[in-house]
Amino acid sequence: MINVFQPCVGQEELQLIAEVLQTNWLGHGSVVQEFEAAFASQLKTDPGQFVSTTSGTEAIFLAAELFDFKSDDEIIVPSISFIAVGSSVVAKHAKLVLCDVDPHSLNVTADYIAPYITEKTKAVIVTHYGGVPCDMDPILDLCLAHNIRVIEDSACAVKSFYKGKATGTLGDMGLWSFEAGKLITTGDGGMVYLNSEELITNAKEQLYLGLTGSEKSGIDRSATGHEQWWEIQIGRPGRRAIMNNIAGAIGLAQLNKIDTFLVRRKAIYQRYSKELAQYSWLTSPPLHGDGIEPSYYFYWIQLKRRDELAQFLREHGVYSTFRYWPLHKVPYFEQSATKLPNSEFASQQTLLLPLHQALSDDDVTRVLELMKTFGGRL
């Protein structure tokens, strides 16, 4: 089978994992810190502003805690978003305000957000769809004017740049996912960017049991007013969502290869674009504008007979998929009466073709041949 997403790991990861096992320090430690610093350096940003976690989903729920979503708050989210974004809002009893996306890029824009802003709007959570940056300047201007927090779900946009700045580092908070199918993986894992020292400190507490002063050893803590050297203090109820050294080691090996991955993904993306342009029965994604450097995470097309094509590819050994089921259609969120035509159209006609660095030229040829055969039958 040709997978739609796939991890790409090998000897480099095994070597770094072996080194961690030899140290016998498997939990959170210096390898994770090295990974955080290397990630920041790839994004050309200050390492002090990053903190790793166990998944992108943890990072999304962390956002709801850090910005203190409450029952009176409204959070604007494009309907084409990952399910955990909606869940994190309703879990805090805040109002999930779903908006539409641009029909061409499937990204949200300032124009789609603006009509939903009220005095109660606390945050906007944008998603860089398939690794292509949203047009952030107008979104940032709009949110600044209304004192609204901007959170960027950059899960699929690792090393995507918008006008020279990494996505995920443009607003108040950004997050990435390193689950097994993402551009780089740590098995499971995530990263968070926060734009203030206070938020970073809060995030570290939140991700590690809510402990305050946990960076100090027990003996040092006794000098800070504790009765007993072994006492701990919590500043909030916290989770335990810290990355471990084994995951950090895999991440470091992956980061060493990320540029090769991106070059390969771009080549496949461009080959699809060139060869599929001849077919009038499908629509390809738009060209990327000036100042946009995507991560080439999704390659998507749109066509009326989407489900038929997916079935045909599947029968011939090729997986394809669609992301993301519009949140206003998810029964749990109880917004099925809402009309968001672009999101609905996208969910009916969009198909993601296989795109990952482990695809061989022959794999891509196979996908393209199948597309030709399918088109020939229409």
Ligand X SMILES: Cc1ncc(COP(=O)(O)O)c(C=O)c1O
Chain residues binding ligand X by CB under 6 A are: 55-57, 82, 84, 127, 153, 155-156, 177, 179, 190
CB atoms < 10 A from the CB of 366, how many? 18
Characterize the bridge pairing of strands 190-194 and 95-99. Answer: unpaired
**Beta carbons of 189 and 243 less than 8 angstroms apart:** yes
Q: CA-CA distance, 25 to 34, in Å (whole number)?
A: 14
| C-beta closer to ligand X: residue 199 or 247 | 247
Distance CA 8, CA 28 (A): 24
Other CB atoms within 10 Å distance of the CB of residue 44: 12
User: Considering beta carbons, is residue 312 or 319 the nearer one to ligand X?
Assistant: 319
The position carrying tokens 């690792």 is: 158
The residue number whose beta carbon is nearest to ligand X equals: 56
Q: Which is nearer to ligand X, 12 or 179 (CB)?
A: 179
How are beta strands 149-153 and 74-78 bridged, if at all? unpaired
Q: Which residue, 186 or 357, has its beta carbon nearer to ligand X?
A: 186
d(CA 148, CA 54) in angstroms, rounded, equals 27
Query: What is the DSSP-derived secondary structure letter of residue 132?
Result: P
The length of the chain is 378
Q: Which is nearer to ligand X, 177 or 374 (CB)?
A: 177
Query: CB of residue 247 vs ligand X: minimum separation in angstroms?
Result: 11
Q: Considering beta carbons, is residue 100 or 153 the nearer one to ligand X? A: 153
251: exposed, middle or buried (Cβ count in 10 Å: 0-12, 13-18, 19+): buried
Q: Residue 43 CB, nearest distance to ligand X (Å)?
A: 17
Cis peptide before 116 (omega within 30 of 0): no
In the complex, the smallest distance separating the C-beta of residue 66 from ligand X, rounded to whole angstroms, is 16
Phi, psi dihedrals of residue 371, rounded to the nearest 5°? -65, -40
Q: Which two tokens stand for residue 187?
A: 């098995």
The smaller minimum CB distance to ligand X, of residues 158 and 262, is found at: 158
CB of 134: closest distance to ligand X in angstroms?
12
The minimum distance between CB 136 and ligand X, in angstroms, equals 16
CB of 189 to ligand X, least distance (A): 7
CB of 204 to ligand X, least distance (A): 19
Give least dist CB 185 to ligand X, A: 9
The distance from CA 241 to its chain's CA centroid, rounded to whole angstroms, is 17
| Complex with ligand X: residue 161 or 374, whichever CB lies closer | 161
- Cβ atoms of 48 and 200 within 8 Å: the answer is yes
DSSP 32-76: HHHHHHHHHHHTTS-GGGEEEES-HHHHHHHHHHHTT--TT-EEE
**Please, what is the angle between helix 56-66 and helix 83-91, to 10°?**
30
**81 vs 109 by CB, closer to ligand X:** 81
CB of 87 to ligand X, least distance (A): 11
